[in-house]
Homo-oligomer: A and B are copies of this chain.
Amino acid sequence: MTAPAQATLAVSTVIFALRSDAESDFKTLWLPLVRRTREPFHGQWALPGGGLPAAEELATAAARTLRGTTGLTPKYLEQLYTFGDPGRSPGGRVVSVVYWALVESDEAAVAEVGDNVQWFPADRLPELAFDHNRIVEYALWRLRTKVEYSRIAHAFLGETFTLAQLHDVHEAVLQKALDPANFRRTIESSGTIVDTGERVAGTRHRPPRLYRYNDSVRAVDLGPLGPSIG
């Protein structure tokens, strides 16, 4: 008997950014997809990714893919799940280690990047190649769950940010209104942000404080594996 071919190993990444959306009061989640240039699923949209180079870390491969697709660097990157059903890829088994990432929401970067890369709103995706629709749904669930108990929303923002901006990010991700007063107290008492002492000038109302993320609490978000994940 002939030994069946070993499964192929691939790394894919679900990349989230926030963007203003004409169809919604909230900002909404967007993600970049790449058009497949060969079979199977030729011409359909798929998650960015590819085979795993022999000497590359899994997380590094995910970050490289992300940079190659969007030109951006992930502000947050975490392993999501490994999908390996024998039938998920017609024509040869592929086991995909999937990561999910948050990137800073620069409006310019979320524009069209090229013919074969395009950003889509996460809740209005076309039919994707392979089982990628299911993967994105799971990534969305993880993002929404984690935003509630962890403090990762700042990854959508720049180095410093106002509480109102962070508030808007939480609202956009969770798709529900959050009381600004209670939100402020919850975040402040969590110790995850630090007052920079600066304020934003030039608004036509009371100038808000600028905060910075407190790096010393990051490890908690990921559990024991945290420190080793970029």
Segment of A53-61, A167-175, A180-188 engaged in the interface with chain B:
A53-61
Bound Cα distance A3, B52 (Å): 12
How many chain copies does the complex carry? 2
Query: A197: shortest Cβ distance to chain B, in Å?
Result: 36
**Interface presence of A95 (CB below 8 A):** yes
A-B contact pairs, 11 of them (CB 8 A): A6-B52, A52-B95, A55-B93, A57-B84, A57-B86, A82-B97, A95-B97, A137-B224, A138-B223, A138-B224, A138-B225
> What 0/1 pattern do residues 203 to 224 of A give for CB contact below 8 A with B?
0000000000000000000011
Q: Chain B residues near A201: list those with CB within 8 A.
A: none
**Interface presence of A79 (CB below 8 A):** yes
Query: A10: shortest Cβ distance to chain B, in Å?
Result: 11
A residues within 8 Å of B by Cβ? Answer: 3-9, 51-58, 79, 81-82, 84-86, 93, 95, 97, 134, 137-138, 141-142, 145, 223-225
- A-B contact sample (19 more), CB < 8 A, given A82-B82, A138-B224, A141-B224: A4-B54, A4-B55, A5-B54, A6-B6, A6-B9, A6-B54, A9-B95, A52-B95, A55-B86, A55-B93, A57-B84, A58-B82, A58-B95, A82-B97, A84-B97, A134-B224, A137-B224, A138-B225, A142-B223
